[in-house]
Amino acid sequence: MPELPEVETTRRGIAPHLEGQRVERVVVRERRLRWPIPEDLDVRLSGQVIQRVERRAKYLLIEAESGTLIVHLGMSGSLRIVESGLPAAKHEHVDIVLESGLSVRYTDPRRFGAMLWSQTPLQHELLRSLGPEPLTDAFDGDRLYQMSRGRSMAVKPFIMDNAVVVGVGNIYASEALYAAGIDPRRAAGSISRARYQALAVAIKRILAYAIERGGTTLRDFVGGDGKPGYFKQELFVYGRAGEFCKGCGFTLKEIRLGQRASVFCVKCQR
């Protein structure tokens, strides 16, 4: 599933081709995503100038003059820029055709993504209860400490809770906990303020670096697959169960937390 750095890289890849451009029409070949694409999306968006492309958590907000298209990439979705009129392949469900001669093409083999229209996107039921963005001043160790008091749930699912902070998915939660030396099984309420401050710093650093690396590993949003790559060669724990810890050489252990695989080092993380 695309995580926050991959969604942000997608935003940066498509924004220069959309912002300031007028939509000629919207071609919907398959409406059955996680929620049905609105029947009147073509009417609402055609003729509109795209003002900006923003991101909130893992949602892309394509802001037009009279409303906003909320896009979620689901499990396997992607957006890329193609020449208008390029024949669509299987699973290429939507084209936003621009007067520039380019189109934004949405591909989603599993159809778990979403395209929804809203006049007030930040008040939409999918977005209004979200916590702060991790790379802003609204998120820090003090917030984690205060929100964790009295919580017995493990710290890893705690920091993956979108009401606590958005965009810390499985990959980056695992990596941040390793960087901060915190055992993912620890009760959230048992962790000190100082350790949460270290964890918040690690989350910010790792997400920012992943966004930077996403931009450099991305091949081309124009005619490419539109999928930024993870910085897999630089992961310390995620996906490395049974391998040696890069810090101490001990074998990394895998457990299940919140129905997710969690890999960590029993020596480096306490």
Q: Catalytic residues, which ones?
A: 2-3, 58, 260
The CA dihedral of 120, 122, 127, 131, to the nearest 10 degrees, is -160
In a 13 Å sphere around the CA of 224, the CA atoms on its Cβ side amount to: 13
Length in residues, the chain: 270
| 151 assigned binding-site residue | yes
Beta bridge partners of 119: none
In a 13 Å sphere around the CA of 169, the CA atoms on its Cβ side amount to: 16
Q: State the burial class of residue 233 (Cβ atoms within 10 Å of its Cβ: 0-12, 13-18, 19+).
A: exposed
Quickly count: other Cβ atoms within 10 Å of residue 129's Cβ. 8
Binding residues for DNA: 91, 110, 151
Binding residues: 91, 110, 151
